[in-house]
Structure 1
Amino acid sequence: MSKLLKSFNKGIEYLLMLLVAVMVISCVWQVLSRYIFGQASAQTEELMRYAIIWVSVIGGAYVYGEKGHLAITFFADKLNQSLARLISIFIDTAISVFSAMVLIYGGYQIVSATMIQISPGMGLPMGYMYMALPIAGFMFIVYAVQHITAKLKIEAN
């Protein structure tokens, strides 16, 4: 599982790097087309908007998986180790439930409802923009299960 998760993380890293590169290239093209050619490109503006949404949502899930998110540990540091681990497992479980209900189920509902709406700039279904929600929800659950499993292994030892 660890090797599979490392490959999964590498894939997410490459996806995020690609999206950031697309944003930079689109931004440069937007500036060039506006000031050199006198007409801004509607497609690049919309592409940047899609990319920043995907980077934010997928990147948030990735940071959670890497335990790189902001955490206030003042109270957790005051608890004994087993109680802190139990609370941490509860938090990861709550994140899984939230991800399943809001990001996956709710995201699927939004994607389904907006696939018939066409974006004005690129002519793509708007559901593609919202598809980041269920994907991130799945990622959150995978990472939460991995975190819980690691905590239970530590407790068993």
Structure 2
Amino acid sequence: MAVINAFRKVVDALLALALAVIVTAMLYQVGARYLYHAALPWPEELSQLLLVILSFFGMYRAIDEDLHIRLNLIPAHLSGVAVRALKTVAILASTAFLAYISFGGYELALRSWNQPSMAMRLPMGWFYLAIPVACGLSVLALIGRLAELYTKDPRQE
């Protein structure tokens, strides 16, 4: 469990770093426009790519901490077995969807290693790799949610 907590802290630190880089790059871009009356090509591209990466890994952290917004549509009068079954179906459907997205993101990353980004000239595969990695981590987090579902009372949130 200590390794998992350390990994979570590393992901959180990388998310904070990505946000700091986005803010710094955009401030640099604003300064360059003001001082030189010309836009630099790379700050906007870097910010866009980091924002996508931030979104995918933020999804993983939200699933891991069970922080996503939810609609509680399961009636309160259902038995614990029925509640557990409905939640299991929802988790399995989410897991299947994320596994599919992860597979597609992996194929996209493989196909784009030779495609450089427009401004920074870095391989797009590095950026597209965030999709399968974050979705794979999200699948693991959902499996953890499923394990928790069978170790506690399913009617408790």
CA RMSD, 1 decimal: 1.5
- Asked if the contact 2:105–2:131 (Cα under 8 Å) also holds between the matched residues in 1, the reply is yes
The corresponding residue for 2:8 is 9
Query: What per-residue deviation string (whole Å, max 9, x for no partner) do you get for residues 15-35 of structure 1?
Result: 110000000001100100111
Shift of residue 65 of structure 1?
Answer: 1.3
- How do 1:7-46 and structure 2 match up within 5 A? 7-46=6-45
**Which structure 1 residue ranges, 5 or more long, are not aligned?**
none
What TM-score does the superposition give when structure 1 sets the normalisation length?
Answer: 0.90
TM-score normalized with structure 2 length? 0.90
Residues 60-71 of structure 1 correspond to what in structure 2 (within 5 A)?
60-71=59-70
Superposed, 1:55-134 pairs within 5 Å as: 55-103=54-102, 105-134=103-132
Whether the 8 Å contact between 2:63 and 2:138 is mirrored in structure 1 is yes
- In 2, the alpha carbon distance for the partners of 1:144 and 1:4 equals 18
Partners of 1:90 and 1:7 in 2: CA distance: 30
What are the ranges of 5 or more consecutive residues in structure 2 without an aligned counterpart? none
The share of aligned pairs that are identical, in percent, is: 25
DSSP 3-state at the match of 1:153: coil
| Cα distance change, pair 27–76 in 1 and its aligned pair in 2 (3 A) | farther
> What are the superposed Cα offsets for residues 103-150 of structure 1, whole Å, 9 maximum, x if unpaired?
2x1111100111111112101011122111101111111101111111
SS in 1 for 2:74: helix
